[in-house]
């Protein structure tokens, strides 16, 4: 079943990424951002499960738009 998403906010002036979304039904947060591809960065990540991916999220995006509850 497709999620019903609500855009929380973006720090992009052109309407691209990064952007935060909220799943209306579950409250889960979806992050749109640039994929981390540098192998040295990825090597530092821990407990990575199959199917997981990583995106860069500017601090300003989280402090301005992440839910406070």
Distance of CA 55 to CAs 1, 7, 69, Å?
24, 17, 23
- Model pLDDT, residue 13: 79
Instruction: At 43, list the tokens.
Output: 């090597």
Average pLDDT over residues 6-34: 89
What local confidence, expressed as pLDDT, does residue 62 receive?
87
Q: Which of 37-41, 56-60, 65-69 has the highest mean pLDDT?
A: 37-41
67 pLDDT exceeds 80? no
């Amino acid at each position: 079943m497709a999620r019903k998403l609500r855009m929380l906010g973006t720090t992009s002036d052109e309407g691209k990424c990064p952007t935060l979304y909220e799943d209306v039904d579950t409250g889960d947060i979806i992050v749109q951002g640039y994929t981390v591809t540098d192998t040295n960065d990825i090597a530092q990540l821990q407990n990575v499960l199959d199917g997981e991916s990583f995106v860069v999220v500017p601090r300003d995006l989280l402090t301005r738009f992440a839910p406070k509850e």
